A = this chain, B = another copy of it.
């Protein structure tokens, strides 16, 4: 038996990836320290004999290595999704991104070296680019100046992986995620807005002036792109993943959530076009490289937002 190892295995993307891999007949070892991931998200898989879960902090190489040994199966594919996903928390305390993003990558690479795993699939982020103004953001652009510790530690992880490919690792994919939405939702602007409106149904308060515009990808499209990229040739592959449009403004998201959740509510905007430190106001994300490989998302940013609002509202209300 061959196993796919998924770190951060009880998280939002991991659950969707696992579902797809199981559909394709693969076996899975999912690990998660459950600091942010939730065991109940795995409820649908627990009966499946091809799905295995271990509660492990994957920044501990020995623990992770031991979990693989216990399975008695070879691991070729490692999907490294474990990371801190709370950007403001990591700005307040840089240890969070160091320990959960940088160090998990470090330990995963050590374990892959020890177990001679052949392919690493890494969830990086558009946050590695920082604020490049109005330029179109393609994969080879510079300079890379991440403005959050989250982005900094994703870039630090990419750098480690690149050096590992030079030294010992046969293959690696770098997926530079956009904002990803869908269910099971754990955080993000849609969840925030829905919860705020549940608490105060007459008014939705929005950080910033609502003009921030971002591209959003539905998690179904994301997983589809990850699997597509993993099957392309190449030793070290770096891809932006995202929709082929300029995105949706915060104002539009606020209005769509309001219409779905609490149609009569007033929306109150703040000032400035940054919601918080580490948040880039506008972002032109090129997925030209991915498009030339024949992949396209099924949903636009607006369609993804609309579907996700529907899905999350059904979960939350």
Which A residues form the contact surface with B (CB < 8 A)?
91, 94, 98, 102, 106, 109-110, 128, 130, 139-149, 151-153, 155-156, 159-160, 162-164, 166-167, 236, 238, 277-278
Contacts and interface: CB of A to CB of B under 8 A. Distances in A.
Contacts of A167: 91, 149, 277-278
Given A94-B160, A148-B163, A151-B163, 10 more contacts: A91-B167, A142-B143, A143-B238, A148-B166, A149-B160, A149-B167, A152-B160, A153-B156, A156-B156, A163-B278
B166 A277 contact: yes
Contact of A152 (B140, B163, B236): B163
A162 B146 contact: yes
Which one of A91, A102, A152, A164 has the greatest number of beta carbons of chain B within 10 Å?
A: A152
A151 B159 contact: yes
Contacts of A160: 94, 149, 152, 156
A111 to B, nearest CB: 12
A112 to B, nearest CB: 12
A145 B172 CA distance: 13
B130 A146 contact: no
B140 A142 contact: yes
Contacts of A109: 94
Contacts of A152: 156, 159-160, 162-163
A140 B155 CA distance: 16
B155 A159 contact: yes
B110 A106 contact: no
Contact of A143 (B91, B110, B139, B277): B139
24 contacts: A91-B163, A94-B109, A102-B102, A130-B162, A140-B143, A141-B143, A142-B142, A144-B159, A146-B162, A147-B162, A147-B163, A147-B166, A148-B166, A149-B163, A149-B167, A152-B156, A152-B159, A152-B160, A152-B162, A153-B156, A163-B278, A166-B277, A166-B278, A167-B278
Contacts of A146: 159, 162-163
Contacts of A139: 143
Nearest to A92: B167
A106 B163 CA distance: 20
A144 B147 contact: no
Contact of A155 (B130, B147, B148, B155): B155
A65 B148 CA distance: 24
Nearest to A156: B156
Contacts of A128: 159
A147 B130 CA distance: 22
A163 to B, nearest CB: 4
Contacts of A143: 139-142, 238
Given A156-B102, A156-B156, A145 B130 contact: no
A126 to B, nearest CB: 14
A163 B90 CA distance: 10
